[in-house]
């Protein structure tokens, strides 16, 4: 009977302990878990051609969300790529040979014209030809000097090849088109969850129009408000223990990431000590969610070990 009585007393004690609310620690405050959001979009417009994910899907970094189509971009890229290849290849040997032959022919004509002009001077001195004939032969020699020089310049330009600035300009245009084509594929920037999908196949999007909203599940945090006296015990980088109702008795690691510089929920003019202790400051605690147990929207209790109980 004595053993039975002790068992009954122990059972009643445990039952009463379970029914009574747990004593709340003096260094504990409550808040709600939140997560960072990313709104993905394309910097260039296009028609939605394909959607590769649905709302609620877990995404990996680089995973495709949607693909846009701008039909003019591939054609423009092919044209610029062909121009770049032509510039890099330079003039063809046949072109160089043709210009060289032209220059050589002009040079031969120039030598003949100079000889004719010299002979004309001699004949004019002998009063064998008129002034007009002499001047015509001299003018022809001067004209051939210019045409031969122009042919030589064209030949030298072909030998020098394409200017580096032209090649650089074509490469820059090609790189710009490649970046536009990459923007046609909307991908997840990091591990995340697709919260809201704003488009459907066939939609025509303007530049920078939102495609989806992503929740970064690895960037969870909870903001709590602590009284002013606690600020002397809480520093940036301090550790904190976080507890949620879904996992009773389990502590999740947290790190103090931000401490507000301005108080909240306080009267405009604080006159007394009693009023000063009512001031609270926001503290942001970054959470370690390696186990993937925490979710945005959960209520959480945060314990700061450095704050006296």
Q: Would you identify the CATH topology of the domain 23-68+195-303?
A: Elongation Factor Tu (Ef-tu); domain 3 (2.40.30)
Helix (H, G, I), strand (E, B) or coil at 78: helix
Q: State the DSSP code for 25.
A: P
Helix (H, G, I), strand (E, B) or coil at 127: coil
pLDDT of residue 2: 39
The pLDDT confidence band at residue 9, using thresholds 50, 70 and 90, is very low
Reported residue count of the chain is 309
Q: State the DSSP code for 176.
A: H
Looking only at the bridges linking them, the beta strands covering 58-59 and 192-197 are antiparallel
Whether residue 11 has pLDDT greater than 90: no
b/e map 159-183, b = 16+ CB within 10 Å: eeebeeeebeebeebbeebeebbeb
In this predicted model, what pLDDT tens digit does every residue of 217-260 receive, in sequence order? 778 899 999 988 898 889 999 999 999 999 998 999 999 999 98
pLDDT of residue 49: 93
pTM (predicted TM-score): 0.57
Distance in angstroms (rounded) separating the CA atoms of residues 109 and 103: 10
pLDDT of residue 17: 36
Q: Which conformational region is residue 297 in: left (phi greater than 0), alpha (psi within -120 to 50 degrees), or beta?
A: left
Q: Which uninterrupted H or E stretch holds 169?
A: helix 164-183
Tell me the domain boundaries of the chain: 23-68+195-303, 91-161
| CA quadruple 91, 97, 102, 104: dihedral sign | positive
In this predicted model, what pLDDT tens digit does every residue of 145-181 receive, in sequence order? 999 899 888 888 888 777 889 889 999 999 999 999 9
């Amino acid at each position: 009977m004595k053993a039975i009585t002790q068992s009954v007393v122990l059972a009643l004690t445990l039952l009463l302990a379970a029914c009574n609310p747990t004593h709340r620690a003096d260094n504990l405050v409550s808040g709600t878990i939140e997560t960072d959001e990313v709104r993905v979009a394309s910097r260039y417009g296009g028609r939605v051609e394909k959607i590769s994910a649905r709302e609620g899907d877990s995404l990996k970094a680089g995973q495709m969300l949607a693909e846009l189509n701008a039909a003019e971009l591939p054609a423009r890229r092919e044209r610029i790529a062909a121009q770049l290849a032509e510039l890099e290849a330079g003039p063809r040997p046949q072109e160089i040979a043709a210009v060289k032959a032209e220059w050589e022919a002009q040079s031969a004509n120039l030598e003949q014209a100079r000889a004719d002009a010299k002979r004309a001077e001699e004949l004019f001195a002998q009063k064998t030809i008129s002034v007009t004939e002499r001047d015509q032969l001299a003018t022809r020699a001067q004209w051939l000097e210019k045409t031969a020089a122009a042919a030589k310049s064209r030949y030298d330009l072909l030998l020098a090849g394409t200017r580096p600035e032209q090649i650089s300009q074509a490469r820059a245009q090609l790189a710009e088109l490649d970046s536009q084509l990459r923007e046609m594929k909307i991908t997840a920037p990091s591990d995340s969850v697709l919260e809201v999908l704003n488009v459907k196949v066939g939609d025509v999007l303007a530049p920078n129009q939102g495609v989806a909203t992503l929740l970064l599940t690895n960037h969870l945090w909870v903001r709590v408000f602590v009284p002013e006296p606690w600020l002397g015990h809480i520093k940036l980088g301090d550790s904190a223990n976080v507890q949620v109702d879904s996992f009773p008795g389990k502590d999740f690691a947290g790190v103090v990431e931000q401490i507000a510089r301005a108080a909240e929920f306080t009267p405009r003019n604080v006159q007394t000590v009693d009023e000063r202790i009512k001031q609270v400051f926001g503290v942001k605690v970054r959470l370690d969610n390696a186990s993937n147990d925490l979710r945005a929207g959960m209520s959480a209790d945060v314990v700061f070990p450095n704050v006296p109980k």
